[in-house]
Amino acid sequence: MARRGFCSWLVLATCLAFAPAAGATIDGPCTATIAGQNVADRETNATSDPITVAEGSNVPISMSAARPITHLEVELEFAGIRWTVYDEPTTGRSWSKVVDVDDYATYGVGLYKVIGSSSGPGLSCSGEALVEVEGSPLTTVAGLVGLGLAVVGGVAVLLLALRGGGSGGALVLGALFGMLLGLGLGLLLQEFAVLYPTLIVAIVLLLGGAVLGGVLSGLPRMAGRA
C-alpha cells in the first residue's frame, strides 16, 4: 500500500510538473517586455515557449506603469531558486535595462526564468518569462556537469543491477546514483532547451531517478526470490 501510494503521488507530481500555467505572467498595473516581446503573452511552465536570445548578446528589459516607479529589481530563477542580478532605485513611470547575457548565464546556456519587479508609492508590479540562451550545451560547464552526472549515475545503477545481490546497501546506493542520473538528465534537458526545471520538475526528476535506481538495484534479489 505504501509503495502504491508513493507511485500515485509521483504520477500526480509528474502531471503537475507539466501542467500548463494559468493566465498571463504580469502581476500588477504595468506592462513589461524582454527583447522587445510582451511578457504578458508568455507562460512559464516547464514546456512553455521561451523568448530566444543569443549567447553573448545584449538584451533590453523594460517595464512601464501608470504611477511613478522608485525601485526596480531583476532576478533569475532556476529550479525554484532565485538570485538577484539587478537591484537599484529609479525614477519616472518606466525603466529599461540592457542585460549582457554573458554576465549572468556564466556557466551554461538553455532555459532560465527572468523576473522583473517594480515598486513605488501605491505601486507593486512584477512580470516574468522564460528565456532561452542559445549556444552549444556541451561547451559549457553546466552542460558538461550534466553529462558527467548522467553517465556516472546511469553506469553505476546498471552495474549494481548486473552485480546482483539486491542487499539493502545496494538499494541505497542505487537510489543515490539514480538521483545523480535524474539530476544530470535535468541539467541536460535545461541546457538543450527541452525542459525548464521548475521546482516540481526538479523534485520529480530526483525522486524518479531514486526510484528507478532502487528498483533496478533490487531486481536481482526479486528474481532470486521468484
Q: What is the DSSP string of 155-175?
A: HHHHHHHHH----HHHHHHHH
Q: Are residues 153 and 190 in the same domain?
A: yes
Q: Are residues 164 and 217 in the same domain?
A: yes
**Residue 122 CB contacts under 8 Å (≥ 6 apart), including other chains:** 67
Does residue 20 sit within a domain? no
Q: Are residues 115 and 211 in the same domain?
A: no
Does residue 3 sit within a domain? no
Q: What is the Rg, in whole angstroms, of the alpha carbon atoms belonging to the chain?
A: 21
Last residue of a domain, one of 105, 135, 165: 135
Q: Are residues 57 and 129 in the same domain?
A: yes
**With contact defined as beta carbons under 8 Å apart, do 97 and 61 qualify?**
yes
- Total structural domains within the chain: 2
Does residue 213 sit within a domain? yes
Q: Are residues 116 and 162 in the same domain?
A: no
The DSSP-derived string for 165-210 is ---HHHHHHHHHHHHHHHHHHHHHHHHTTS----HHHHHHHHHHHH
Query: How much is the pLDDT for 22?
Result: 39
- Report the interhelical angle of 168-191 vs 199-225 (nearest 10°): 140
Query: How much is the pLDDT for 203?
Result: 92
Q: Are residues 147 and 131 in the same domain?
A: no
From CA 41, how far away is CA 56, in angstroms rounded? Answer: 25
Last residue of a domain, one of 135, 167, 192: 135
Q: Are residues 72 and 110 in the same domain?
A: yes
Question: Where in the sequence is the domain holding 201, given as residue range(s)?
Answer: 138-225
Query: How much is the pLDDT for 164?
Result: 65
Query: How much is the pLDDT for 220?
Result: 54
Last residue of a domain, one of 88, 103, 135: 135
- The C-alpha cell at 89 is 532605485
Measure the CA dihedral 105/108/114/116, to 10°. Answer: -20
Q: Are residues 128 and 149 in the same domain?
A: no
Q: What is the pLDDT along the chain (226 residues), one digit of tens a residue?
A: 434 433 433 343 333 344 444 344 677 788 888 888 888 877 888 888 899 988 878 888 888 888 898 988 888 888 888 888 888 888 888 888 787 887 777 778 999 888 888 888 988 888 888 889 998 898 899 999 999 999 999 999 988 888 765 677 888 899 999 999 999 999 999 999 999 998 899 999 999 999 999 888 877 554 444 4
Does residue 7 sit within a domain? no
Q: Are residues 109 and 142 in the same domain?
A: no
Does residue 71 sit within a domain? yes
Does residue 144 sit within a domain? yes
Does residue 12 sit within a domain? no
Q: Are residues 166 and 210 in the same domain?
A: yes
Q: Are residues 32 and 108 in the same domain?
A: yes
Does residue 15 sit within a domain? no
